[in-house]
């Protein structure tokens, strides 16, 4: 199957030519798409009418082992019946919009912070695949930042300073920043993980910053200095020249490499406009050799 890529941003992001991912299973096409991920970091696919099982099956064909959701699961059971598909929506089990003070809605507001999926777990997430099921009449965009280009634009002194540093990542921290309160039982399920500030793509050897809202402190640094450095790095990485804004259409599927990007949801009136997305994230573990 012939596949082509149309670049959407000077640094990263490409729209893929017409293809039905539900039918893609041959190794040559899958490897072409992986090559596109290595080059562009974010791929946009139009007109992908996935069901949850179809999206999950494609993710497994494309990148192997799928990660079970633990963040939102820690505060309540999913309405989807599977822990492998994340419900990125503003409706409850009854299909009605969540009220403004609903705990699930407040928890989800932190998705509007710049973050990297599952950086708070070990192994972390590699590819995230977000499927648009219900798009509101108002814009509810998602922004992406190219952490490879951001790293490459750092001055040499900063690169040397952060070369060997690591940070603790915690999804509880990123929620608590916005005032979300956890029970001790919930906190016990969300211990976090330590990740280096710089990571390297093993397929391309290209380096990138690995930070975002889940990073709460730098290991072996005083907390204030560490958070100031992390804040400076996020501000640097989210300058307009490194950011792409995706305007969702019905049926879009967007895949991004968590090693190469950060992302965030943009605000919209989620107490009035129905929106449903589904996300599947694969584990950042070794892949079989390429054919």
pLDDT of the residue at 83: 87
> Domain for residue 98, yes or no?
yes
Q: Is 274 exposed, middle or buried (0-12, 13-18, 19+ CB in 10 A)?
A: middle
Does residue 288 form part of some domain? no
pLDDT confidence tier of residue 263, bands split at 50, 70 and 90: very high
Distance of alpha carbon 254 from alpha carbon 45, whole angstroms: 6
Name which of 129-143, 156-170, 273-287 the model is least confident about: 273-287
The band of 290, judged by pLDDT with boundaries at 50, 70 and 90, is very low
Q: Which structural domain, as residue segments, surrounds residue 183?
A: 5-283
Rg of the chain on CA atoms, in Å: 18
CB 124, CB 257: distance < 8 Å: no
**What's the domain count of the chain?**
1
Tell me the average pLDDT across 86-106: 93
- Domain assignment present for residue 95? The answer is yes
CATH number of the domain enclosing 217? 3.60.130.10
Q: What is the pLDDT of residue 291?
A: 39
Environment class of residue 144 by beta-carbon count within 10 Å: exposed (0-12), middle (13-18) or buried (19+)?
buried
Examine residue 189 and state whether it is found in any structural domain, yes or no. Answer: yes
Token pair 């893929």 is found at 16
Query: Which pLDDT belongs to residue 288?
Result: 53
DSSP class of residue 21 equals G
**Three-point CA angle 15, 284, 187, nearest 5°:** 110
Name every residue whose Cβ is closer than 8 Å to that of residue 286 and which is 6 or more positions away in sequence. none
**Cα–Cα distance, 286 to 13 (Å, whole number):** 24
């Amino acid at each position: 199957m012939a596949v082509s890529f149309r670049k959407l941003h000077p640094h990263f992001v490409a729209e893929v030519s017409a293809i039905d991912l539900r039918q893609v299973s041959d190794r040559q096409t899958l490897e072409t798409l992986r090559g596109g991920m290595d080059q562009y970091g974010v791929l946009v696919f139009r007109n992908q009418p996935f069901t949850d099982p179809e999206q999950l099956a494609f993710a497994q064909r494309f990148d192997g082992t799928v990660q079970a959701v633990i963040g939102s699961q820690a505060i309540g059971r999913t309405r989807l019946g599977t822990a492998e598909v994340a419900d990125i929506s503003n409706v409850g089990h009854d299909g009605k919009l969540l009220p403004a003070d609903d705990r699930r809605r407040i928890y989800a507001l932190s998705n509007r912070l710049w973050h990297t999926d599952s950086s708070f777990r070990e192994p972390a997430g590699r590819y995230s695949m977000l499927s648009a099921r219900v798009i509101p009449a108002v814009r509810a965009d998602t922004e992406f930042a190219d952490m490879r280009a951001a790293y490459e634009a750092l001055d040499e002194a900063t690169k040397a300073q952060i070369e060997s540093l690591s940070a603790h990542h915690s999804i509880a921290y990123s929620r608590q920043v916005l005032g979300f309160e956890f029970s001790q039982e919930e906190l016990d399920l969300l211990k976090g993980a330590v990740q280096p500030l710089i990571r390297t793509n093993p397929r391309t050897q290209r380096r990138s910053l690995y930070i975002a809202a889940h990073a709460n402190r730098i290991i072996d640094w005083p907390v204030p200095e560490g958070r100031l450095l992390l804040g400076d790095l996020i501000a640097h990485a989210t300058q307009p020249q490194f950011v792409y804004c995706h305007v969702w259409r019905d049926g879009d599927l967007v895949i991004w490499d968590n090693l190469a990007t950060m992302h965030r949801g943009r605000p919209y009136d989620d107490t009035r406009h129905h929106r449903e997305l589904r996300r599947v994230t694969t584990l950042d573990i070794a892949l079989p050799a390429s054919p």
